[in-house]
Amino acid sequence: MTEVKPVHIISDNPGGGTSADTAFGFDAYAQTLAGLIANRKNETPLVIGIYGPWGSGKTTLMKAIRNCLEGDTFQKSNDFRPCKTVWFQAWKYGDQDEILAALIKVIFEHIKQDESFLKRLNGEIEKVSSSINLHKGVLKLVKDFIGVDMSEFIDAPKYREKLSFYTDFQDFLDRLIWTYTRLRPKFTSSEEPDDAKGAMVVFIDDLDRCPRQRVVKVLETIKLFMDRPGCMFVIGAAEEIVEEALKQTYKDENARKFMDKIVQVTFKLPTIARDDFTGYLEAIHPESSEMLAPFLTQIVATVQANPRRFKRFVNDLSLLGGLHRSKGTGIDDNSLLFWKLIEFEDARMAEEIRTNPAVFSILKTIISDHAFRNEMTGQYEIPPDKLETVREKSLLPFLEQRELIELIANLDLTEEQLRQLIYFNAVAETKEVMLKASISGKTWTSNVTLTVGPALEMVNIEAGEFLLGLKKEPASIDVPYEIDIYPVTNRRFSAFIEANGYSEEGYWSERGKNWYRFETVASPEFWTDNKWNQPDHPVIGVSMYEANAYCNWLTQTLDDGCEYRLPSEEEWERAARGKDGLEYPWGNDFDTERCNTSESGINSTTRVTRYPNGISPDGCYDMAGNAWEWTATQIDDDYVIKGGSWVVGREGARCGLRYRYEPYSRSYFTIGFRCVRIKK
């Protein structure tokens, strides 16, 4: 029976005054900022902005500041003014009035929880009430707030309608702050505020979690307190998010002025040093420190020196280790560590391996054949001239990263272990990694030069003889040409749409013009359907006329001395099967793991980079399955399509098979295209 061991998971609840704070120097930051807040000589109102990205420790630091202010060192010292603290989560509330009302409610709730204050105040409440000439609703509040749920007052529309936040309510607020910070009621209006004797500090946490418009409303609410002595605010947020929110309401210059008027002190959390994570790891997860210590530099770089990401990384690793021990997969902790580093370092590569495990073995082979260890850096790398010989072009972005090469080289797994790793990792996968690996909807950057022109996107096909068709008859290519390595994707086709390709008649043949005028189309058939419009999937639902117009647009837009057009059937087939007339791009035997046909059971198109193990001898992807492709070869009034698709089986995916279709057809959701390029 497998021995069961406990799995230690680190809480993601931000701390305050913990050993982790000491490791990162937060205790020193907290003491300094608390000393600034409690200094009797510093006038109020005062707003301090604590800025840092998600997970950098803003909440932890704010809680540490609060602990300092509430501790004996500050509360019992004559050098510091007494400070009452309030914790407010603004992201829970809506419009400005709600935020202000909610803030008052939170202040009441904190007062109700302060037993020492309530005990002193209870005997004075009638004196306070008789000395304040307020609206009866406020007077009721003054009398009742000690023992009554304040939501009855705050949420009641009749009070909101009758009370002015700028007159009676603010007068009451002044007296409330006075009473709470001075530990006695304010008896007469002649008593002037003295913030040296006490202040109320409101901590506004996670401001950047609010919707952009609400961020502005929270800041405008804070502005209402800017003439209230004794009030101090500590705001925790990602500075760039706050600025962006303000820019949506105010112009850039006014947004900066707005922030400058509100925030008097800015503290930007510094990047945490790698060495500080050593102590942090020992504090939060001592049982992992010995294993992770040799790789800490890479882990810290991978999680971008972010404490929260670091905790999630360690938690993921702990859970995975427990799962694999219980299952008895034989995968050691180092392999799990390397895989988690790959996920955080480049989630897209992890996704490529997950969807097609053969990618891992291809990467291992390339690294084994071409990589060497650089004596200067101590890392593996692949020389540029060797990278040029790699046929699996979709993997080049990964092979250019030394860190990834190192991880893959050290990750030693059998096929079954890799399958188990992928399976269990899906169970323990964090949302952050999933988001990194996901492909966004329709917000793309359309750059023709980057998506079409480079040598990595097209492959050269030499002139010469080859075998053509199902009967493998001799044929020849007379003029060399280049052909797209991948089918044209939705990402690439979007550039044509954004360039008004459908309305520019110079891109269309005469028959094409007649067709699109009659059909009144402005995009592919399934352009708005999320099942078919993913950026890196082949564009489908395009007629032969649209494919031709796209090619003509490339010719005119790039103006590089080349003509872009659809391939002939012969050109397409030569690129798909090589010179020897292979049945499929990879060989003569069908393999479900090398292409997207009906046998795969995916039931939709896939990323054009998914099958590097299914490329042709010349390095072309997706020439079997995924989407049929238009050619320029005509049969009567029809045109030849090639390659099969996700909806047809192995017979339809044979390179030598030809099928004919009407040039105006676009409702069939399996036809796309790729381009060839020839010198004019």
Tell whether 427 and 532 lie within a shared domain: no
Handedness of CA 423, 344, 23, 207 (dihedral sign): negative
What whole-number distance in Å separates Cα of residue 532 and Cα of residue 359?
24
**Is 35 inside any structural domain?**
no
Tell whether 406 and 506 lie within a shared domain: no
**Is 334 inside any structural domain?**
yes
Q: What is the mean pLDDT of the chain?
A: 82
**Is 130 inside any structural domain?**
yes
Tell whether 419 and 484 lie within a shared domain: no
Q: Are strands 46-51 and 676-679 parallel, antiparallel or unpaired?
A: unpaired
What is the domain-level CATH number for residue 479? Answer: 3.90.1580.10
Tell me what the mean pLDDT of segment 381-386 comes to: 94
Residue that terminates a domain, selected from 418, 437, 456: 437
Is residue 231 within 8 A of residue 200, CB to CB? The reply is: yes
Among the listed residues 561, 552, 538, the one whose alpha carbon sits nearest the alpha carbon of residue 671:
538
What whole-number distance in Å separates Cα of residue 668 and Cα of residue 432?
37
HEC per residue, 399-437: HCCHHHHHHHHHCCCCHHHHHHHHHHHHHHCCHHHHHHH
What whole-number distance in Å separates Cα of residue 98 and Cα of residue 100?
5
Is residue 263 within 8 A of residue 305, CB to CB? The reply is: no
Phi first, then psi: what are they for 197, rounded to 5°? Answer: -95, -5
Tell whether 414 and 474 lie within a shared domain: no
595-608 residue pLDDT tens: 999 999 999 999 99
Q: What DSSP element (H or E) covers 142?
A: helix 136-144
Token pair listed for 403: 């860190």
**Is 295 inside any structural domain?**
yes
Q: Which of 69-78, 138-147, 367-376 has the lowest mean pLDDT?
A: 138-147
How many domains does the chain fold into? 3
Q: Which of 254-263, 326-335, 353-362 has the lowest mean pLDDT?
A: 254-263
Tell whether 390 and 516 lie within a shared domain: no
**Is 21 inside any structural domain?**
no
Residue that terminates a domain, selected from 268, 294, 309: 268
pLDDT band for 429, please (50, 70, 90 cuts).
low
Q: What DSSP element (H or E) covers 137?
A: helix 136-144
Token pair listed for 153: 């007052």
**Is 590 inside any structural domain?**
yes
Among the listed residues 165, 186, 173, the one whose alpha carbon sits nearest the alpha carbon of residue 145:
173
What whole-number distance in Å separates Cα of residue 573 and Cα of residue 553?
24
Q: Between residues 386 and 21, which one has the greater pLDDT?
A: 386
**Is 12 inside any structural domain?**
no
What whole-number distance in Å separates Cα of residue 167 and Cα of residue 137?
13
Beta bridge partners of 233: 47, 202
477-527 residue pLDDT tens: 999 999 999 999 999 999 999 999 999 999 999 999 999 888 889 999 999
Residue that terminates a domain, selected from 396, 413, 437: 437
Residues spanned by the domain of 383: 274-437
Tell me what the mean pLDDT of segment 567-590 comes to: 97
Q: Which DSSP symbol is given to 568?
A: P
What is the domain-level CATH number for residue 179? Answer: 3.40.50
Long-range contacts of 224-228 (CB under 8 A, 24+ apart): 224/100, 224/165, 224/170, 225/45, 226/45, 226/47, 226/261, 226/262, 227/45, 228/45, 228/170, 228/173, 228/174, 228/177
- Look at residue 608 in the predicted model and tell me its pLDDT: 96
CB atoms within 10 A of CB 384: 8
Q: Which span out of 52-66, 354-368, 512-526 was modeled with the highest average pLDDT?
A: 354-368
**Is 576 inside any structural domain?**
yes
- Look at residue 436 in the predicted model and tell me its pLDDT: 44
Question: Would the pLDDT of 132 be above 50?
Answer: no
**What whole-number percentage of the chain has pLDDT above 70?**
80
Tell whether 643 and 581 lie within a shared domain: yes
